[in-house]
């Protein structure tokens, strides 16, 4: 699905959570409004960039686990964000060269950049989709044509569920996605915590493209209900299967993550 460019004036006026995250990671695909909002978040929680980078490291470790240990060679990354270094397809294909990846996002800039970068990669696609409507993502012809739903798929929901309000039923979204997966599939999930250090920043997101809904460890753990958690279970970002030791301070960052398999 090719996405038509959005009106640049409209796109630039409202901070976008995906472009703000790109800024936190050191990317350049963002507007002045995104940078201004992101700097407000950094002023509230000075370790925001550390948090984003720690989340990215978790993503890479979880993808490597899925490909190497679990033997999964299909990945559905919803709310994937802007392409950056060490993307899912790059990590997966180092382990499993034939791995197939479907990136899904609703932000026009993400889609246009991703489609351009992946134009020559037949094993990787980027399509439009909204996590709030998982049924439409699962029924999409491009996703259905690219991934084999009769075999295990790793579903990636990395730092995206905290942009869904409770009334949008994020637990129901996860259930819908995982109910459609074959046994042996896995869920890779990370989520910002309801922490006093982050709470003041939610007012910034109230004026952005999506609100930030912070949740407790118990609420985040509930997303894995009915699935078999991989050791060490729901953990701080830096504590999930660290390689070559923890990055300094990673275990104190206000977010939780985990990987779990469908029976």
- Residues 229, 179 contacting (CB under 8 angstroms): no
Average pLDDT over residues 221-225: 98
Residues 175 and 155: beta-carbon distance below 8 Å: no
As given in the structure block, the two tokens for residue 189 are 């999930």
Lowest mean pLDDT among 8-12, 135-139, 225-229: 8-12
pTM of the entire structure? 0.93
Distance of CA 106 to the CA centre of its chain: 13
pLDDT digit string, tens, across residues 136-153: 999 999 999 999 999 999
| Helix (H), strand (E) counts: the chain | 11, 8
pLDDT in tens, 95-114: 999 999 999 998 887 788 77
CA–CA distance, 40 with 257 (Å, rounded to integer): 25
Residues 6+ apart with CB under 8 A from 58: 158, 190, 237, 238, 240, 257
């Amino acid at each position: 699905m090719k996405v038509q460019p959005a009106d640049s004036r409209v796109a630039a006026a409202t901070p976008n959570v995906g472009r703000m995250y790109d800024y936190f990671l050191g990317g350049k695909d963002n507007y002045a409004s995104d940078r201004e909002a992101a700097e407000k978040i950094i002023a509230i929680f000075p370790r925001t960039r550390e948090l984003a980078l720690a989340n990215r490291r978790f993503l890479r470790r979880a993808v490597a686990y899925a490909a190497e240990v679990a033997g999964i060679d299909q990945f559905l990354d919803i709310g994937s964000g802007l392409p950056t270094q060490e993307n899912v397809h790059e990590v997966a294909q180092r382990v499993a060269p034939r791995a197939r990846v479907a990136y899904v996002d609703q932000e026009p800039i993400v889609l246009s950049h991703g489609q351009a970068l992946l134009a020559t990669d037949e094993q990787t696609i980027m399509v439009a989709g909204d996590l709030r409507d998982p049924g439409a993502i699962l029924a999409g012809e491009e996703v259905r044509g690219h991934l084999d739903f009769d075999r295990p798929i790793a579903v990636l929901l990395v730092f995206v569920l905290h942009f869904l309000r409770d009334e949008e039923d994020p637990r129901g979204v996860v259930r819908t996605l995982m109910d459609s997966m074959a046994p042996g599939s896995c869920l890779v999930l990370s989520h910002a915590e309801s922490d006093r250090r982050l709470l003041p920043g939610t007012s910034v997101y109230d004026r952005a493209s999506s609100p930030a809904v912070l949740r407790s460890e118990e609420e985040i753990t509930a997303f894995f209900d009915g699935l078999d958690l991989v050791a060490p279970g729901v953990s701080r970002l830096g504590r999930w299967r660290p390689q070559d030791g923890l990055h300094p301070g990673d275990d104190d960052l206000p977010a939780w993550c985990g990987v779990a398999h469908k029976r």
